[in-house]
Chain A
């Protein structure tokens, strides 16, 4: 089934819907989402900030503020690494939600910041293994901010980066243990 990008033409930013579709289709296949899954990427081109959200898993509907796809060195231009980084995480998380053996993560709106970040870290670690450009130090800082600046926190990061936990419960346990160890130290 098709990957659809809306709008199909952009007037405020220099994005190409066809280019975004191409990247999204590649990511869908790499992540292992079903070919028959309808995917819709809705882009708010008038917003320079970078919030993203998933409103539905099947069909998969993701909403992205334009800044999330921009090249920060050349404002209003599309950045392929940033598109892959943003959509890659969302697609990985959608795949986790579709995997019954992984368990049931909380709805996005109810996720704590620490669990949300831990889940992003394991998703970006997978993108790294797929050969995408990722910024490991940036993600380490993001993880430390939510789990504490400690050796325990860094070890938990390494664990999440290197391997996806088998279940949501395992991921939550790693995140909670890192956080409580940092808070008690």
Chain B
């Protein structure tokens, strides 16, 4: 029987790889844009925030690496994707903030909160405290995303809407077919309280819950279609 600790190990491995990509993404945002008011420029203070995020992500990589080792996981044990980094390479900094800082770092809030609760339930103090510290950083990163998105798009509602649409796409993609959701039975539960602290309002949170339910339906339809094709073949 696959046990909860094994699921936690694969999730921890995914977090480790995600942290590497988040570090790379924040570093790129510091480097890719000149300082200025244009759509392909960013304020110097945003660069400072991204530099601070690099510092946090580098620490998270180290923590995740050691936690994975503590949980008996070998680096490279699971296959991973590079979608987080791809979202971090968007040409528009506003879309990077929406896709990475709000959608993906928001997901990190949900995952870290789930892992923290798993550590509490299983009596694992190491996992619980490490996740708690990383969770605090993620709330800060999402808050930076929420604040800067508002500031960069204050005079351009269409740009803000494009960024929020990108965020919705990433949110749905990373609900893992409804695995992350707002329902009681969701393995990774939407961490409403921490997301509120990071600048999400109730309407946005309800929308993320709805997107996850849609993704769950899409996953079931796709699985049924695969089975049908297999039977025909």
Contacts and interface: CB of A to CB of B under 8 A. Distances in A.
A53 B71 CA distance: 25
B233 A11 contact: yes
B6 A142 contact: yes
A11 B227 CA distance: 9
Interface in A66-102: 67-68, 72-75
Contacts of A137: 69, 71-73
A72 B2 contact: no
Contact of A140 (B72, B74, B78, B123): B72
Interface stretch (A20-28, A30-38, A144-152, A158-166): A144-152
B105 to A, nearest CB: 25
A141 B3 CA distance: 11
Given A11-B230, A12-B230, A74-B79, A142 B1 contact: no
Nearest to A45: B230
Interface in A47-64: 49-53
User: B4, B72, B126: which has the most chain A beta carbons within 10 Å?
Assistant: B72
Interface in B70-107: 70-74, 76-79
A146 to B, nearest CB: 8
A136 B72 CA distance: 7
A72 B10 contact: yes
Interface in A111-148: 113, 116-117, 135-142, 144-146, 148
B2 A68 contact: yes
Contacts of B72: 135-142
A70 to B, nearest CB: 10
Nearest to B124: A149
A135 B69 CA distance: 11
A159 B162 CA distance: 60
Given A72-B78, A74-B79, A144-B124, A51 B1 contact: yes
A46 B9 contact: no
A67 B78 CA distance: 12
A182 interface: yes
B13 to A, nearest CB: 9
Given A11-B233, A46-B227, A51-B2, A138 B73 contact: yes
B9 A141 contact: yes
Contacts of A73: 76-79
Nearest to B3: A142
A127 to B, nearest CB: 16
A144 B175 CA distance: 30
Nearest to A72: B78
B71 A138 contact: yes
A46 B226 contact: yes
A135 B68 CA distance: 13
A89 B70 CA distance: 23
Contacts of A148: 123
Contacts of B73: 137-138
A118 B120 CA distance: 21
A67 B126 CA distance: 29
A140 B126 CA distance: 15
A145 B1 contact: no
Contacts of A49: 2
Given A138-B9, A139-B72, A116 B1 contact: yes
Nearest to A68: B2
B125 to A, nearest CB: 7
What 3 A-B pairs have minimum CB-CB distances, sorted nearest first? A138-B72, A137-B72, A50-B2
Interface of A: 11-12, 46, 49-53, 65, 67-68, 72-75, 113, 116-117, 135-142, 144-146, 148-149, 182
Given A73-B76, A182-B123, 7 more contacts: A72-B10, A73-B77, A117-B3, A138-B5, A138-B73, A141-B71, A141-B72
10 contacts: A11-B230, A74-B79, A75-B79, A116-B1, A135-B72, A141-B5, A141-B9, A142-B5, A142-B72, A149-B123
